[in-house]
Structure 1
């Protein structure tokens, strides 16, 4: 993987370069949640109460979702190994739930059910195996944050005093499990988290330096509106990151789908070039500080210079993308599509 990305990106249809290799999942669900442990172990989640897991590099996939949840949409998943994962279902009121497994999906424990009709949870993210956050759209004018310190076994609502006010129509997009992320770093010192938003006059990014207790917010140059904004943020470290999105309504043209930051999200600027069209997910590639993969319904793109320039290498539809610490990268999307990145 590292070799093919260092060699550069080839245009879609080229005979060499990166390419997605589809793996047979046997699922028709739309998979917007994805968590890559490594090249062999990958978890995905989505509509119809679906949770999929492979431990053989995608040769076979097992359906391991909680029983009786076929009406739920598991839009985000965070996996720690082949046995342990936490999933989030979205929706108004009690449709927003969190489940946890420690035996590879044989059994699940419901660890949170939203009882506030005004809350709608979108994404989860972890700093390490024990500490994590979950994000709800604004309740009484502010985004709401849940926190766990026991690996997702229990959750508590954090006080809203440290959260800036939301715009009247602002919300987060539960499109790729990346509207709430932490820095792609290992170790106990990881305390940074970011929230991606849209829906109102400004597409914004919120930043916390203390694991969700207090937040600052900044505007991005991405267009915002009822179907537009920042859909995903990705951070290489506490300072270097991108915001990516656009307008998911195909009737509206997407321009300037990406912005870059070098100061932790305090300021954002447009790069010289952006992907052609709306993109819902993006991730940095471990060990390659300037490599980023982005995906959306109209294609996949690779940047090898930190997001300044992008090369589309695939025209298929994916909603989310993730890379393991061994630099194995995967994407997932509609009709049960899951693919791994390989050399063409």
Structure 2
């Protein structure tokens, strides 16, 4: 069983990582004394890429990825159980949402019927297919749950509108929301299925969708679980493979956005933003990670972590300033109560946040 970080150790490690001020050169931090944040890799015994991650607690987490693979641990990563659906070997999972050690919902991506939603109520021993896409133009990217029953999943545009499906029974059944309730997409606009965080819930009713691909990277807000939307431009750079890849909101107002261009993983100009006033107030981070990042999570309060293929960064001020603390490859990060943070990525990499 894994011990959760204490508040005092976390505060000390964050202070060490940030060296008290973002303006201090990185080489000045080399001699800094104090506890340091570090990712502790677990042994998953597989080499799949896990972009889907659900952190339930310090002990329990789920990951979902390539070759239709889903793993679950209930002992802090000491042991992983392969709980993959029996009929999903050819699918690619990109998102998983878990409510506890027994209930989880997983989204596979792809054209036509490759986009599916699977649900388990018994820890992965059996899975039900709650949704199978039948629209050739649809391609589902990510999903979010507002509580144990109400959730949304989104697809890239169909007939010029971003498509949403909704559930009110924990993912066992889904219905397509009417096109007239869905926002119209910009030319080339889409979401990125990089970590399951292009669509996120801030609370029991407010949700946010982040996009790229078009002339402008946008953030779209729903105050009513997807029944209505407002769209807002952001200053984050956008392009064919660039835009906002992930968002995290600690409430309806405070949020962090990260992204960039996955074809240029070392470039990070205008690739991160933050807001304290919801979708309409996104500003560029004065000191961003400096590289493409695919996932972000609040640890506690204003402390947040972001990850990508070139490393991990931490912010102590709600996403305004970032400092690197690890260079390992990860695709997704998520934190549960008790400062229990998990990260997942390529080559079967799944790790827990620890103090070195």
TM-score exceeds 0.5:
yes
Q: Which residue does the alignment assign to 1:342?
A: 354
Distance in 2 of aligned mates of 1:132 and 1:9:
38
Q: How many residue pairs are counted as aligned between the two chains?
A: 337
Going from structure 1 to structure 2, the CA distance change for 1:327 and 1:140 (only over 3 Å counts) comes to same
Distance in 1 of aligned mates of 2:126 and 2:16:
42
Q: Which residue does the alignment assign to 1:3?
A: 8
Given candidates 293, 298, 302, the residue that maps to 1:284 is 298
Given candidates 307, 324, 329, the residue that maps to 2:319 is 307
Deviates more, 1:78-87 or 1:159-168: 159-168
- Asked whether the 8 Å contact 1:9–1:313 carries over to 2, the reply is no
TM-score (norm 1): 0.95
Q: Which residue does the alignment assign to 1:200?
A: 214
Alignment of 1:151-190 (within 5 A): 151-183=170-202, 185=203, 190=204
Runs of 4+ more than 3 Å apart: 11-16
Going from structure 1 to structure 2, the CA distance change for 1:24 and 1:205 (only over 3 Å counts) comes to same
SS of the residue aligned with 2:347?
Answer: helix
Given candidates 134, 146, 158, the residue that maps to 1:115 is 134
Report the CA distance between 1:251 and its aligned residue: 7.4
TM-score (norm 2): 0.92
Report the CA distance between 1:71 and its aligned residue: 1.2
Report the CA distance between 1:260 and its aligned residue: 1.1
- Asked whether the 8 Å contact 1:9–1:302 carries over to 2, the reply is no
Unaligned runs of 5+ in 1: none
- Asked whether the 8 Å contact 2:333–2:341 carries over to 1, the reply is yes
Cα RMSD after superposing both structures: 1.4
Going from structure 1 to structure 2, the CA distance change for 1:142 and 1:4 (only over 3 Å counts) comes to farther
Report the CA distance between 1:160 and its aligned residue: 2.4
The Cα offsets for residues 250-281 of structure 1, whole Å up to 9 and x where unpaired, read as: 27732122111122111211122000200000
Distance in 1 of aligned mates of 2:258 and 2:197:
10
Q: Which residue does the alignment assign to 1:215?
A: 229
Unaligned runs of 5+ in 2: 18-25
Q: Which residue does the alignment assign to 1:18?
A: 37
Q: Which residue does the alignment assign to 2:20?
A: none
- Asked whether the 8 Å contact 2:266–2:292 carries over to 1, the reply is no
The Cα offsets for residues 290-320 of structure 1, whole Å up to 9 and x where unpaired, read as: 1111000000000011111111000010000
SS of the residue aligned with 2:72?
Answer: strand
Distance in 1 of aligned mates of 2:319 and 2:160:
33
Q: Which residue does the alignment assign to 1:243?
A: 257
The Cα offsets for residues 198-219 of structure 1, whole Å up to 9 and x where unpaired, read as: 0111011111001100001111
Given candidates 95, 99, 108, the residue that maps to 1:89 is 108
SS of the residue aligned with 2:191?
Answer: coil
- Asked whether the 8 Å contact 1:78–1:126 carries over to 2, the reply is yes
